[in-house]
Each structure stands twice: as structure tokens, then as C-alpha cells.
Amino acid sequence: MTSLPASDLTGGIWVIRFFVITSTFKWISELKILQRLDTGIDHRYKLRVFTK
């Protein structure tokens, strides 16, 4: 019974790490998309996004 809380704790840490890594990758991809819009491929779409 004493080993159960420890394994649950490590599992929670891994879940948090996984969530942080995935959210960081999403943030980086969103940043790349914004940079791509800033290069001027579609100015109208950029204006449409920022005016919402």
C-alpha cells in the first residue's frame, strides 16, 4: 500500500511533463504560423485574425 502513492506521484509528474511539452510545441507552431503571416503571404488573413 505504501508504494501506490509514490507511483501515482511519478505518474502525475509524467502527465504534467507531457502536458508542458505538448503545450510548448503547440505554442511554437502557433508562433511559426504568426511569423509566416508576418512575412506577408496573406495580409488580408492577418488583418482578419487580429481584428477579431
Question: What does the longest C-alpha to C-alpha distance in the chain come to?
Answer: 61
Q: How far apart are CA 33 and CA 16, in angstroms?
A: 26
Q: Which pLDDT tens digit goes with each residue over 1-49?
A: 455 566 677 778 888 899 999 999 998 888 887 777 666 656 666 566 6
Q: What is the pLDDT of residue 44?
A: 62
For residue 11, the model assigns a pLDDT of 77
The residues spanned by each domain of the chain are: 3-51
Q: What are the DSSP calls for 14-34, one per residue? A: HHHHHHHHHHHHHHHHHHHHH
pTM above 0.95, yes or no: no
pLDDT at 1: 47
Q: Give the CA distances from residue 23 to residues 7, 28, 31, 49, 51, in Å, rounded to whole numbers and listed in that order.
A: 24, 9, 12, 21, 25
Q: Which three cell numbers stand for residue 6?
A: 509514490
